[in-house]
Amino acid sequence: MAESTPSTANAPDWMAPHSLLRISVVVALLTIVLKTLAWWLTGSVGLLSDALESFVNLAGAVFALTMVTIAKRPADTDHPYGHHKAEYFSAGFEGILVIGASLAIAWAALARLWNPQPLEQLGWGLALSVVSSALNGLLAVAMLRSARQHRSMALEGDARHLLTDVWTSAGVVIGLMGAALTGWLRPWP
């Protein structure tokens, strides 16, 4: 439940769950643009899947923001103990999104393995991917810190989802660098 505790009383306003989730929506929109541009420049299906994952990040952030908003509602006759359990829906939704995105990414990657295409302007594509991953990583660290302070399941779920995205993006970047260094477009010579 997102609540104010003595450890959160001195936290800056931008570290509150609502603020960080709004920032998460903005960062998701920015990473969609950056990663889509990276894919467009390179033609890499890895960067395309990374861009598509950013849409999943946006959906997760919007859903988490909605659940945190609902969780803050006071108790009423239908919910005499409050609405704080709404945050659990957000954490579950984030997990479903990660599983769905990973299946879609695996499908696209396997298709490209059998039909490889040359990569264009790889340097720019990698740079854009690294910048967007750095944004996600910095935001995720701030969100995890705030999630602990505010005891927010929704914020923690969104942060862990972003960290997963950072790691998968790192895998894409490493794979593309390997392809660039070796000239291999398939995992076998």
Q: How many domains does the chain contain in total?
A: 1
Among 72, 50, 18, CA closest to 131:
50
d(CA 60, CA 58): 5
Read off φ and ψ for residue 92, nearest 5 degrees.
Answer: -65, -40
In-domain check, residue 2: no
In-domain check, residue 156: yes
Which CATH number goes with the domain that contains 102? 1.20.1510
Among 164, 163, 159, 149, CA closest to 20:
159
In-domain check, residue 154: yes
Q: Are 129 and 48 in contact (CB under 8 A)?
A: no
Residue 78: CB partners within 8 Å, gap ≥ 6? none
> Mind listing the pLDDT tens digit for each residue in 108-129?
778 777 777 788 898 999 999 9
Domain assignment of residue 50, given as a range:
13-75+87-182
Give the side-chain half-sphere CA count within 13 A for 85. 5
132 confidence band (pLDDT: 50, 70, 90): very high
> Mind listing the pLDDT tens digit for each residue in 141-163?
999 999 999 988 889 988 998 99
- Provide the whole-model pTM: 0.81
In-domain check, residue 127: yes
In-domain check, residue 141: yes
In-domain check, residue 80: no
